[in-house]
């Protein structure tokens, strides 16, 4: 099975909850994207259900193409310099529910249904550390 499908695995539909949204077809999406000098674009991964931001990783054109074809996130590992199908070894794949692009086309926001924790530490989100609260 491949491609994006907004229906969650339990059969529910995710709602487009946030205001006005403009739909692009795949060719329009690709035309709007701006990759950096290394051929990469940052991809923010957000849980489609809880809205928790899970991680940020990088994609090149090939990993984006694989992501769209597979319906699961595939990144470019900058440290290993290779394609990285998230969850291929851990089982914690991220099923892509929706893919958005920002106003200047240089950042992706990917809404996913995660099969498990996003972080290699076992935390649900990579953003598990917070600056201490300090009051004026």
- Cα angle: 67, vertex 69, 72; to 5 degrees: 40
Cα gap 67→73, rounded to integer Å? 5
Tokens of 66: 């694989």
Length of the chain: 136
Q: Which string of x and - marks every residue 4-33 that binds a second copy (by CB under 8 A)?
A: xxxx--------x-xxxxxxxxx--x--x-
Q: How far is the CB of 25 from a second copy (least distance, A)?
A: 5
One of 8, 35, 40, 56 touching a second copy (CB under 8 A): 56
* Other residues' Cβ atoms within 10 Å of the Cβ of residue 56: 14
Q: How far is the CB of 2 from a second copy (least distance, A)?
A: 7
Nearer to a second copy, 31 or 82 (CB): 31
One of 40, 52, 61, 70 touching a second copy (CB under 8 A): 52
């Amino acid at each position: 099975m491949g491609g994006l499908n907004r229906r969650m695995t339990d059969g529910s539909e995710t709602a487009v909850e946030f205001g006005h949204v403009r739909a692009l077809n795949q060719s329009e999406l690709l035309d709007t994207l701006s990759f950096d000098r290394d051929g990469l674009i940052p991809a923010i991964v957000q849980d489609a259900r809880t809205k928790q931001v899970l991680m940020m990783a990088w994609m090149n054109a090939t990993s984006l193409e694989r992501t769209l074809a597979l319906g699961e996130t595939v990144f470019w590992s900058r440290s290993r310099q290779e394609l990285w199908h998230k969850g291929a070894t851990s089982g914690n794949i991220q099923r892509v529910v929706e893919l958005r692009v920002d106003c200047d086309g240089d950042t992706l926001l990917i809404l996913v249904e995660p099969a498990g924790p996003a972080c290699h530490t076992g935390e649900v989100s990579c953003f598990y550390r917070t600056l201490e609260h300090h009051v004026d």
